[in-house]
Chain A
Amino acid sequence: MDNNLLQQLNDTLADTVERVQSSLAQIVNGRGAGAGTIWHPDGLIVTNAHVVRGRHGLHVVLPGGQRLPAAVIAYDEPLDLAALSVEAAGLPTIAVGDSRQVRPGQWVMAVGHPWGVIGAVTSGVVIGAGAQLPEVGQMQPGREWIALDLHMRPGHSGGPVVDSAGRLIGINTMITGPDVGFAIPVHVVKAFLKERLGTQKMAV
């Protein structure tokens, strides 16, 4: 059945999921938990600001199950972005894509820990991208988002949204209903890291 298109598609989907899960972290913050994405092999992890808010006993659980204390090294409440550092080296990082080239209708996948289910996946398509989206356009005028037609839940926050090649195009951040999620475009994340951390620990 290896010439069955759907079977090929399923295999590719599963491979893509595995690749993305290998750089997916859990962020444990007191009782709450969210997701994070390993950005640099030396322990730089990107997540949402709201996932680390409070910062009591902040820990990161790496894909292999290793649990490490984490320090917040950059934090932006309005942007809802944070960068964490853990003492580690040689971590698998995620490939970074181009969120300025996002097209409505293109395939996407979000990975996180919805309701505490580790590494769970939801897939769908990009609804639209930019600053003129009906539901969020008025909240912070001029702010860019990627609107997603997939089923995000609490626990997806801070996790990666990837394109069909498994490249990071956004950080899962919020939902406006059971079927619509919003991600911060990865070019906004890059700018945030560059501004706050300079070139230190930047992926190249």
Chain B
Amino acid sequence: MSDILQTLSDAMADAVQQAGRSIVRVEARRRMPASGFVWSADGLIVTAHHVVEHEENIRIGLPDGSQTKAALVGRDPNTDLAVLRAETGGLTVPAWAEADAVRVGHLALAVGRPSGQLQATLGVVSALSHSPNENHFFAQTDVVMYPGFSGGALVSASGQIIGLNTSALMRGASLTVQTPTLRFVVESLLRHGRMRRGYLGVGVQPARLPKALAEQIGQKSGVLVMSVEPDSPAERGGLFMGDTILAVDGQTIENGEDLVSSLGGGRIGQSVPVRILRGGQVQELQITIGERG
């Protein structure tokens, strides 16, 4: 029975060591180096956007102690992610923990390699924020983000990587970008060098719907169009100031966040149905979604 603590201790150190085979040091800023981890064996590395301050002269410290140069592939400030390509191959790809394998209360370790050697802190998963429609999978933890831990991994009890840790997105708590969001952003960065965001060209505010209408269409609010930019997709599609947007491509719009999430990269260039309320009548327009430059 007295072995249980020893077993726990060994399991934690083993998890760190296992994940550590894929965790690297990232030197891309003047202050102290940060961390990153292997995305693919042929040299793709993911790290935090905010630790990549200079795009020239990026150096990677590999788990075997050797050093290599890397180039920036792309970055996304919204999720604080950056993808680098190291001039090397034969890297160890980590085992990934899927989003639904992580539960509030689970033990998790933050693992980094800012000094060249592995370092770890322990905590629990405090909260999860999952919104599959928006490819939004984040975990909040109480792990201590030791200096240089940004860009490193949150590691599960079995040594799988839960996601990428960043101290930049939220004050006073450690946030982890989980694997589905990582995958989504990394794939977009590999294809386009950036995250593509859709563009409509309107200024909006949420607006409560008349009670009868709300009951009829099953939603309490929409967004009122306050302004329409000249020559924007909205103007070309026939949207006017004073219209209330109710849905985009079948996705209900009740507030500004709903509208932003409906304008993900996937709808760029597509003509989609936009349901609006105009003069008390529900109408449908066809609008071709643009791309935010």
Residues of chain A having any CB pair with chain B under 8 Å: 5, 8-9, 11-13, 15-16, 103-107, 124-128, 130, 132-135, 137, 147, 149, 163-165, 179-180
Contacts and interface: CB of A to CB of B under 8 A. Distances in A.
A107 B7 CA distance: 10
Contacts of B6: 164-165
Contact of A107 (B5, B15, B17, B119): B5
Given A15-B2, A134-B147, A135-B147, A104 B120 contact: yes
Contacts of A179: 121, 144
Given A104-B13, A149-B144, A180-B144, A130 B122 contact: no
Contacts of A180: 144, 146
Contacts of B2: 12, 15
B268 interface: no
12 contacts: A11-B1, A12-B1, A13-B5, A104-B16, A105-B16, A106-B12, A126-B13, A127-B146, A134-B147, A135-B147, A149-B144, A149-B146
Interface string B110-122: 0100111111111
Nearest to A5: B4
Nearest to A103: B13
Nearest to A123: B122
Interface string B137-153: 00000001011100000
Contact of B13 (A15, A106, A137, A165): A106
A164 B8 contact: yes
Nearest to A11: B1
Place the interface of chain B in its size category: 20 to 34
Contacts of A106: 9-10, 12-13
B282 interface: no
Nearest to A125: B122
Nearest to A6: B4
A125 B146 CA distance: 13
Nearest to B119: A128
B109 interface: yes
B167 to A, nearest CB: 13
Given A12-B4, A134-B114, A179-B144, A147 B119 contact: yes
A11 B2 CA distance: 9
B146 A164 contact: no
Interface in B12-54: 12-13, 15-17, 20, 32
Given A12-B4, A149-B146, A107 B115 contact: no
B230 to A, nearest CB: 52
B147 A128 contact: no
Interface in B85-125: 109, 111, 114-122
A11 to B, nearest CB: 7
A198 B169 CA distance: 54
A71 B10 CA distance: 40
A152 to B, nearest CB: 13
A128 B115 contact: yes
B16 A103 contact: yes
A184 B17 CA distance: 23
A105 B120 contact: yes
